[in-house]
């Protein structure tokens, strides 16, 4: 019984230390954010800046509460676009990377075309997609895919090609085919790189959704921002931007949580360890 009690105490101590570590990571960001908001509010009140030029944080909060129903509906629409666009971008990025590595000659021809396509301004593609596919969901998702698949492809390629050559030679010497080497060596080795690419891609997906809604939409947070700008409702613009930021942050940490579950051996960013 004493051993069980000791184990329970140790488990509680470990949980408490994790909570404290988490608080130590979050508290500096909270303190800095609070200081910025206080200075911002003071600047607006002291210099009597017009609300349509730059609203005070208190005015943004009031707008956020006042327009909470419409913002909630817009957030749902934008989140739907981000999720499906990101999933498709991840699939396309992985498939392109696998094709380039598995079929080397085809990959040499395809890779420069992908890089060339990535240099095309995606804002210019938005009206073209709307012209082709209308104002519904399809053009927004396609825009997210063309913006977000590239980091997935590049990071996946880096992982697939960073396998130790001697290990690949060893696998070949025992009769392993290219497909077996791909499935058992290259793909598992590339997973940490893939997750890094997915974390970049999810932030690009948020940008892609907003750009697509700017180009043409009748709902979503991008539409709210566009409409508020025509009405000079700057507090609503900032409120929508705040919601977009929170939505992007939530999606990012979902991907990071998935990384911790699926690829626990991948190196993680730890500011406490970096600071000694």
Could you list the pLDDT tens digit for every one of the 276 residues in the chain? 455 554 555 555 555 565 566 566 778 878 888 899 999 999 999 998 888 889 999 999 999 999 999 999 999 999 999 999 999 999 999 999 999 988 888 888 888 888 888 888 888 888 888 888 888 888 999 999 999 999 999 999 998 888 877 777 777 777 777 788 788 888 888 899 999 999 999 999 999 999 999 888 788 999 999 999 999 899 999 999 999 999 999 999 999 999 989 888 766 655 545 454
Domain shared by 112 and 175, yes or no: yes
Structure tokens at 237: 């613009």
Token pair 């697939």 in the structure block, residue: 160
Centre a 10 Å sphere on the Cβ of residue 99 and count the other Cβ atoms it contains: 14
Residue numbers of the domain that contains 68:
51-274
3-class secondary-structure state, position 101: helix
CA-nearest of 270, 221, 227 to 245 is 221
DSSP, res 183 = I
Domain shared by 35 and 101, yes or no: no
Domain shared by 187 and 213, yes or no: yes
Stated pTM of the model: 0.84
Would you state the pLDDT for residue 10?
57
CA-nearest of 71, 82, 72 to 251 is 82
Would you state the pLDDT for residue 268?
64
Domain shared by 148 and 40, yes or no: no
Domain shared by 80 and 18, yes or no: no
* Count of domains for the chain: 2
DSSP, res 186 = I
> Would you say how long the chain is, in residues?
276
Domain shared by 5 and 114, yes or no: no
Name, in order, each residue with C-beta under 8 angstroms of 259's C-beta and a sequence gap of 6 or more: 195, 198, 199, 266
Domain shared by 147 and 24, yes or no: no
Domain shared by 117 and 43, yes or no: no
Dihedral angle over CA of 243, 245, 250, 256, nearest 10:
170
Domain shared by 74 and 3, yes or no: no
Counting Cβ atoms within 10 Å, is residue 47 exposed (0-12), middle (13-18) or buried (19+)?
exposed
Domain shared by 67 and 134, yes or no: yes
């Amino acid at each position: 019984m004493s051993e069980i009690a000791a184990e329970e105490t140790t488990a509680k101590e470990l949980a408490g230390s994790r909570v404290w570590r988490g608080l130590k990571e979050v508290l500096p960001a909270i303190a800095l954010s609070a200081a910025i908001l206080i200075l911002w509010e003071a600047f607006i009140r002291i210099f009597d800046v017009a609300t349509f030029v730059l609203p005070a944080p208190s005015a943004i909060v009031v707008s956020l509460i006042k327009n909470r129903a419409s913002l909630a509906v817009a957030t749902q629409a934008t989140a739907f676009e981000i999720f499906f666009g990101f999933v498709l971008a991840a699939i396309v990025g992985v498939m392109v990377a696998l094709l380039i590595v598995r079929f080397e000659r085809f990959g040499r021809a395809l890779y420069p075309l992908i890089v060339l396509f990535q240099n095309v301004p995606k804002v210019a593609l938005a009206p073209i997609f709307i012209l082709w596919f209308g104002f519904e969901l399809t053009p927004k998702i396609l825009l997210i895919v063309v913006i977000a698949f590239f980091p997935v492809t590049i990071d996946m390629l880096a992982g697939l090609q960073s396998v130790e050559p001697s290990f690949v030679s060893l696998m070949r010497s025992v009769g392993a085919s290219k497909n077996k080497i791909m499935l058992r060596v290259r793909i598992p080795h590339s997973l940490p790189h893939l997750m890094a690419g997915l974390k970049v891609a999810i932030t690009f997906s948020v940008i892609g959704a907003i750009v697509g809604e700017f180009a043409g939409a009748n709902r979503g947070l991008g539409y709210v921002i566009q409409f508020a700008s025509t009405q000079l409702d700057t507090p609503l613009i900032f409120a929508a931007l705040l919601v977009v930021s929170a939505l992007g942050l939530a999606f990012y940490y979902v991907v990071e949580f998935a990384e911790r579950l699926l690829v626990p051996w991948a190196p993680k960013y730890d500011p406490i360890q970096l600071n000694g």
